[in-house]
Structure 1
Amino acid sequence: MARYILSQTCIFRFSQGYNNSQRLSKYTCCGSTNSSNTNVIHDRQKQRFTVTLDCGGTVSSAVLKYTLSHDQQVELISTEVPESHRGKGAAAHLAKAALDFVVEENLTARISCWYIRKYVDENPHLGYQAYIEDE
């Protein structure tokens, strides 16, 4: 059974837990007016969330890296977005997907990445703060 959540310009699809999740959203790429679908892929083995970005035939990736300890604590380490895609929402997609994973799995999170901290602080209405362990 799939569950859909509509949030501003994003549609999230959760199917059989977050492991098989896909996130579909539309945003402007490289300043063009053409919208493109962006899938956030969660690779549990490599402990990362990835967005493949296509801009006029040039393909690159934005990545959020994390670690998961045996005591079920996630450390959200970093977000890396190619310069050509900065400021267009790719990091926000990654941060939301990672934080949704923390919530879905009922984990606690430590945040080492300044951007993810900023995202949590700027979106208190999403309720992520309850899952964040302050250092």
Structure 2
Amino acid sequence: MSDNENIEIAIEHQQDRQRFIIPFDSYEAVLEYQLSGKDIDFSRTFVPNELRGKGLAERLVRHGLKWAKSQDLTIQASCWYVQKFLKN
């Protein structure tokens, strides 16, 4: 099923909480980071069971990495999932 592209997804950047989220119904998919000067560490991705399999974690990570690059940040990832995107 490839309905993923039809889902309207709004990614919110909550800079005060150092995270990106996708709110969906009463759930949130989350990408958390720690910012220290010009260094950013993407530390955690979380997608609730109800939202899994929709590609939300990948969208969050791609969005977060794009934002970090646009800010000229040095990117690290202690989150294993984000590390997969840095290797490519």
With structure 1 as the length reference, what TM-score do the two structures score? 0.59
Deviating beyond 4 angstroms after TM superposition, the runs of 4 or more aligned structure 1 residues are: none
Tell me which structure has the larger Cα radius of gyration.
1
C-alpha distance after superposition, 1:65-92 (max 9, x if no partner)? 001102x100100001001222210001
**How many angstroms apart in 1 are the aligned matches of 2:48 and 2:67?**
23
Alignment root-mean-square deviation, CA = 1.6
Secondary structure class of the residue paired with 2:20: strand
Q: Which has the higher strand share?
A: 1
Aligned to 1:130: none
Paired residue secondary structure (2:76): strand
Task: Give the share of equivalent positions with the same residue, in percent.
Answer: 33
* Structural mapping, 1:23-42, within 5 Å: 27=4, 35-42=6-13
Question: How far apart in 2 are the matches of 1:106 and 1:119?
Answer: 17
- AA aligned to 2:39 is Q
Equivalent residue, structure 2, for 1:46: 17
Match for 2:43 among 30, 54, 77?
Answer: 77
Choose the corresponding residue for 1:115, options 75, 81, 86. 81
Relative to the length of structure 2, the TM-score reads 0.88
Which structure has greater helix proportion?
Answer: 2
SS at structure 1 position matched to 2:10: strand
Distance in 1 between the 2:7 and 2:54 partners?
12
Corresponding pairs, count: 86
Residue aligning to 1:60:
27
